[in-house]
Structure 1
């Protein structure tokens, strides 16, 4: 019987950004509902900044994000913008509920399959993210060398590190930046990486990042209120904001002081939105345990069946 050869995989050179939440398991253990709500709000900020920074999200799983950029400059600028925006978003939260991100950035050759990226380049970025301090960014020497004299950031040499599944030591650098500042990103639509990695693109005017953090802070200051005027104030300032539908629902409730069902629906929706794209069976099992008659029960059961029958069942 003749052997059928698999088509060659597409390869490309990209800047890879890997991020995850520090202490996510602890946060989930302490307050599951608050953690999922905060993760959803933070992901809105992260996703918007990746798009504004000309990046493309290649994968998400639980509390992690993997993105690719055609420009090393864009990748690092986006990472700094994310950390600065999340600093503002966390500032309005109680200390125990703050959610800090660790980010690793590598530049390398990757394989492309089914819209995702794979290979040593991705693995190194993920290992760098684990080395980064909460709220910090670590990059490889290749990234640092690309950025010399092109950006104002300093890079602290953390030496060579042995990382899992990578045979050679990796030289790691910490990006030094002001977490309380507001970074700027190019005002463009996201574009897919093309012919290799570019160093810079200065053809577009900058736009300040972090506007999402302002809206998030506003919403978090009113979301538990029983005063309709506060929801009206939110809608006046953010008529098409991420939480506009929730604000309108609160106003439409006959008695805002008796809104337990609305709040339960909101929490369930936040829970579902935070897990619907993950590949982890345990997240869908947790949803069904908490909401056995929930609105998304059928979808959760379908996802569990799919994951159980797939090669990556866990």
Structure 2
């Protein structure tokens, strides 16, 4: 089995069971269209490899954390734009987690803590949001024009060590919600300017 360092992105549809309970056929059709027209082409354009795809989620591998986070930001912003014309209860929103770490390659699948951490970060991301590990944030600091909010050290399920984590600001209502949280230490990755708020 091969090992390598990779950026791993885990994504799923927030409230998928509720959406399916409301209207299965509509939800499946929406998700299929979203994947075909927006998500999958964007992943390819950012040099990602879809490793695994479930009914409501996916696991994607990248050689670059910059590509992974740029892809995540693009997807979430594009979906938010699409959702503006949809009824709130019918909107599809993704939660995304990203980690950079060592992974194990077994044929076409990937395993290891790098994968598990990305999945756990996705679990604490807000609907429509992106949560990344400190390892991922360090890789992209100063390289992309994105603002990160420090959400402190998180105890992730089934992960041995607590992990410092960050939310990615996406603008609009999402950013406003983030700034109201208990931890607000803002880092603008694009130019290395730091600002601290209490």
> Which TM-score band applies after superposition, normalised by the shorter structure?
0.7 to 0.9
Residue matched to 1:95 = 88
1:179: how far off?
6.3
Asked whether 1:23 is paired with 2:15, we answer yes
Q: Does the aligned pair in 1 maintain the 2:6–2:61 contact within 8 Å?
A: yes
> 1:88 and 1:65 mapped to 2: Cα distance?
21
> 2:58 and 2:39 mapped to 1: Cα distance?
9
- 1:44-55 matches, within 5 Å, as 44=36, 45-55=38-48
Q: Does the aligned pair in 1 maintain the 2:72–2:96 contact within 8 Å?
A: yes
Q: 1:130 aligns with which of 123, 129, 134?
A: 123
Q: Does the aligned pair in 2 maintain the 1:87–1:179 contact within 8 Å?
A: no
| TM norm structure 2 | 0.84
User: Radius of gyration: which is bigger?
Assistant: 1
SS in 2 for 1:58: strand
Listed one character per residue, the Cα deviations across residues 105-137 of structure 1 (whole Å, up to 9, x for unaligned) are 000110111201111100000000011101110
Residue matched to 1:104 = 97
Asked whether 1:169 is paired with 2:162, we answer yes
> 2:4 and 2:133 mapped to 1: Cα distance?
18
Q: Does the aligned pair in 2 maintain the 1:84–1:179 contact within 8 Å?
A: no
| Unpaired segments ≥5 residues, structure 1 | 1-8, 181-314
Q: Does the aligned pair in 1 maintain the 2:3–2:105 contact within 8 Å?
A: yes
Listed one character per residue, the Cα deviations across residues 247-290 of structure 1 (whole Å, up to 9, x for unaligned) are xxxxxxxxxxxxxxxxxxxxxxxxxxxxxxxxxxxxxxxxxxxx
Give the number of equivalent residue pairs. Answer: 172
Residue matched to 1:75 = 68
| Unpaired segments ≥5 residues, structure 2 | 174-198
Residue matched to 1:148 = 141
| TM norm structure 1 | 0.53
Q: Does the aligned pair in 2 maintain the 1:59–1:66 contact within 8 Å?
A: yes
1:95: how far off?
1.7
Q: 2:112 aligns with which of 119, 122, 144?
A: 119
> Where do 4+ consecutive residues of structure 1 move more than 4 Å?
none
Q: 2:49 aligns with which of 50, 56, 75?
A: 56
Higher strand share: 2
Residue matched to 1:232 = none
- Alignment CA distance shift 1:13-1:55 (3 Å): same
Q: Does the aligned pair in 1 maintain the 2:12–2:57 contact within 8 Å?
A: yes
Higher helix share: 1
